[in-house]
């Protein structure tokens, strides 16, 4: 997703949640971003979360620590995050609008930087991490929902010559990080019926430029996919993500 498309998408989705689709997810890979974050963080840690969205994960999945700053390119998303924060009663968390490609944070301030399903600039992340600090990325890869994209003939990253996971991996290495590891993540999402599945596809960017925000979805192609990917009465969507972990060396 381009930087501009990402901004427009998240501005539109600021006030709805994936929970409304009743999705059941099954993980096929044991790489868990939040488990790794919990292992790395201490009570004194300062954590930066890029692409924080409505702040739900920061408020429910992040460890208790000294400081958490959640940032998002979308002002509407940050507004939603602040509303969610006000309901939580937590006082170690703050949110701000920030462009990941033009980061406005202090040098060598954070112990951990987390980026979830968003664009990043590893050089700027490296700068804001303390020596010995850690980077954790979870992203959507090119072959996410690939059988669906093949039927529709397009979608997010469909024509990318190089998967974004490889690009991220190389950029993190070139930025000077050490202990860089890239892990493919596979999950399956189960939808209870055609209506919930269709509604999901109308708002998420999987089929970008094909079916999003009111554009008509080809019903015949949708039925073709459902016929080939229904088990036990549930529609299956096969997801392909990637996890990336790295460390800033403790010395220059």
- One pLDDT digit (tens) per residue for the chain, 252 residues: 445 555 555 545 555 555 667 789 999 999 999 999 999 999 999 999 999 999 999 999 999 999 999 999 999 999 999 999 999 989 999 999 999 999 999 999 999 999 999 999 999 999 999 999 999 999 999 999 999 999 999 999 999 999 999 999 999 999 999 999 999 999 999 999 999 999 889 878 898 777 554 567 899 999 999 999 999 999 999 999 999 999 999 975
Distance of CA 39 to the CA centre of its chain: 20
Distances (CA, A) of 124 to 175, 210, 234, 236, 252: 9, 34, 43, 38, 16
User: Residue 4: its pLDDT value, please?
Assistant: 52
User: Residue 157: its pLDDT value, please?
Assistant: 92
User: Residue 215: its pLDDT value, please?
Assistant: 64
All structural domains of the chain with their residue ranges: 3-247
User: Residue 1: its pLDDT value, please?
Assistant: 47
Q: Which residues contact 182 (CB under 8 A, 6 or more apart)?
A: 165, 166, 168, 169, 242, 243, 244
The secondary structure of the chain, three-state, reads CCHHHHHHHHHHCCCCCHHHHCCEEEECCCCCHHHHHHHHCCCCCEEEEECCCCCHHHHHHCCCCCEEEEEECCHHHHHHHHHHHHHHCCCCEEEEECCCCCCCCCCCCEEEEEEECCCCCHHHHHHHEEEEEEEEEEEECCCCCHHHHHHHCCCCCCCCCCCHHHHHHHHHHHCCCEEEEEEEEEEEEEECCHHHHHHHHHHCHHHCCCCCCCCCCCHHHHHHHHHHCEECCEEEEEEEEEEEEEECCCCC
User: Residue 18: its pLDDT value, please?
Assistant: 57
User: Residue 195: its pLDDT value, please?
Assistant: 93
Q: What is the CATH topology of the domain spanning 3-247?
A: Rossmann fold (3.40.50)
Q: Is 219 exposed, middle or buried (0-12, 13-18, 19+ CB in 10 A)?
A: exposed
Closest CA to 182 of 26, 1, 31: 31
Question: CA-CA distance, 137 to 240, in Å (whole number)?
Answer: 14
Closest CA to 102 of 7, 189, 228: 7
């Amino acid at each position: 997703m381009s930087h501009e498309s990402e901004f427009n998408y998240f501005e539109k989705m600021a006030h709805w949640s994936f929970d409304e689709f009743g999705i059941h997810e099954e993980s096929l890979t044991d790489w868990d971003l939040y488990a790794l974050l919990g292992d790395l963080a201490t009570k004194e840690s300062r954590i930066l979360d890029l692409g924080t969205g409505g702040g739900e994960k920061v408020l429910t999945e992040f460890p208790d620590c000294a400081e958490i700053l959640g940032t998002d390119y979308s002002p509407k998303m940050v507004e939603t995050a602040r509303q969610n924060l006000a309901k939580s009663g937590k006082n170690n968390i703050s949110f701000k609008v920030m462009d990941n490609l033009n980061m406005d944070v202090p040098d060598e301030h954070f112990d951990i930087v987390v980026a979830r399903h968003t664009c990043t600039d590893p050089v700027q992340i490296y700068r804001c991490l303390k020596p010995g600090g850690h980077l954790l990325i979870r992203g959507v890869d090119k072959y996410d929902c690939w059988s669906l994209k093949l039927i529709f003939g397009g979608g997010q990253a469909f024509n990318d010559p190089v998967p974004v996971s490889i690009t991220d991996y190389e950029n993190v290495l070139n930025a000077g990080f050490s202990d860089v590891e890239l892990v493919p993540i596979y999950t399956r999402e189960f939808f209870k019926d055609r209506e919930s599945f269709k509604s999901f596809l109308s708002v998420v960017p999987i089929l970008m430029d094909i079916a999003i925000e009111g554009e008509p979805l080809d019903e015949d192609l949708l039925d073709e996919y459902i016929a080939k990917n229904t088990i036990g009465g549930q529609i299956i969507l096969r997801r392909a993500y990637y996890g990336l972990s790295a460390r800033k060396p403790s010395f220059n």
